[in-house]
C-alpha cells in the first residue's frame, strides 16, 4: 500500500452532494408525475360524469316518450306529477288496463327525481341513483307550442327538458347541457 492520501474514487463529501442532488431531482420528477396523475384522474372522473349523464338522459328520454301509453283507455296512464325536481308518469305497457307495479310490468309507474347531487329513477324497490354529482339539475316542461308550463294541470305538458350542470376543474367552470324528449302519446 502506497503512503499518503488516495488519488482515485470519490470523497465522502462528493457522495453526499451527489446523493442529495439525485434525491432532489428524483423528488421533483416524482412530484411532477404525481401532479400529472392527479390531473388525469380528475379529467377522467369529470368525463365519466358526462357519460353517466348521457346514459341517464337516454334512459329518461326513452321512458318519457312512452308516457301515457294506454291501449285500453282504461288505465288512466299519463303524467301524474311534475315540478322542476320531480317527474312522475305512468304507462300501461302490458295493456291490461291497470297500472300495477308488479314483477310482470315493473316500469308502468315511474318517478324521476332531479336534485343537486343526485338524479334518481324510482321503480319497484325504491329510488335508484342514475347519476351522482350534478351541480344543478332541473326539469323544464313545455306544451305543444313550446311554451313553458310551470304548474296547473299536467295535461298540456308534452316536451320535457332536463338541464344538467356538472362541475368543472375549477369552481364556476362547470358546463350545462340540456336534453329534451317529447312524449309520443297524446295527453
* Interface positions, 113-152, toward another protein (CB under 8 A): 144, 146
Task: Choose one: 43-51, 109-117, 131-139, 149-157; the region binding another protein (CB under 8 A).
Answer: 43-51
Site for another protein contains 11 (CB under 8 A): yes
The three three-digit cell numbers of residue 41, written as one number = 384522474
> Under a CB-based contact definition with an 8 Å cutoff, are residues 135 and 163 in contact?
no
Q: Which of 19, 23, 32, 117 binds another protein (CB under 8 A)?
A: 32
CA distances from 56 to 125, 167, 179 (A): 19, 17, 10
Tell me if residue 82 falls in helix, strand or coil: strand
CA 64 distance to own-chain centroid = 18
Question: In what helix (H) or strand (E) does residue 181 lie, and over which residues does it extend?
Answer: strand 175-182
Q: How far is the CB of 72 from another protein (least distance, A)?
A: 20
Site for another protein contains 17 (CB under 8 A): yes
The binding site for another protein (CB under 8 A) comprises: 7-8, 11, 13-14, 17-18, 21, 25, 28-29, 32-33, 35-36, 39-40, 43, 46-47, 50, 54, 57, 61, 144, 146, 158-159, 161, 169, 175-182
Amino acid at each position: 500500500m502506497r503512503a499518503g492520501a488516495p488519488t482515485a474514487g470519490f470523497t465522502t463529501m462528493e457522495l453526499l452532494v451527489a446523493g442529495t442532488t439525485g434525491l432532489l431531482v428524483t423528488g421533483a420528477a416524482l412530484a411532477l408525475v404525481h401532479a400529472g396523475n392527479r390531473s388525469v384522474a380528475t379529467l377522467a372522473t369529470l368525463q365519466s360524469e358526462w357519460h353517466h349523464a348521457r346514459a341517464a338522459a337516454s334512459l329518461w328520454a326513452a321512458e318519457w316518450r312512452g308516457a301515457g301509453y294506454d291501449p285500453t283507455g282504461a288505465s288512466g296512464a299519463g303524467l301524474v306529477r311534475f315540478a322542476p325536481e320531480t317527474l312522475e308518469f305512468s304507462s300501461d305497457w302490458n295493456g291490461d288496463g291497470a297500472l300495477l307495479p308488479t314483477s310482470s310490468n315493473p316500469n308502468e309507474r315511474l318517478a324521476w327525481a332531479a336534485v343537486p347531487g343526485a338524479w334518481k329513477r324510482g321503480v319497484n324497490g325504491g329510488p335508484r341513483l342514475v347519476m351522482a354529482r350534478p351541480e344543478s339539475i332541473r326539469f323544464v316542461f313545455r306544451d305543444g307550442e313550446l311554451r313553458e308550463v310551470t304548474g296547473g294541470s299536467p295535461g298540456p305538458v308534452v316536451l320535457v327538458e332536463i338541464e344538467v350542470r356538472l362541475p368543472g376543474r375549477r369552481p364556476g367552470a362547470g358546463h350545462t347541457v340540456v336534453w329534451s324528449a317529447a312524449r309520443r302519446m297524446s295527453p
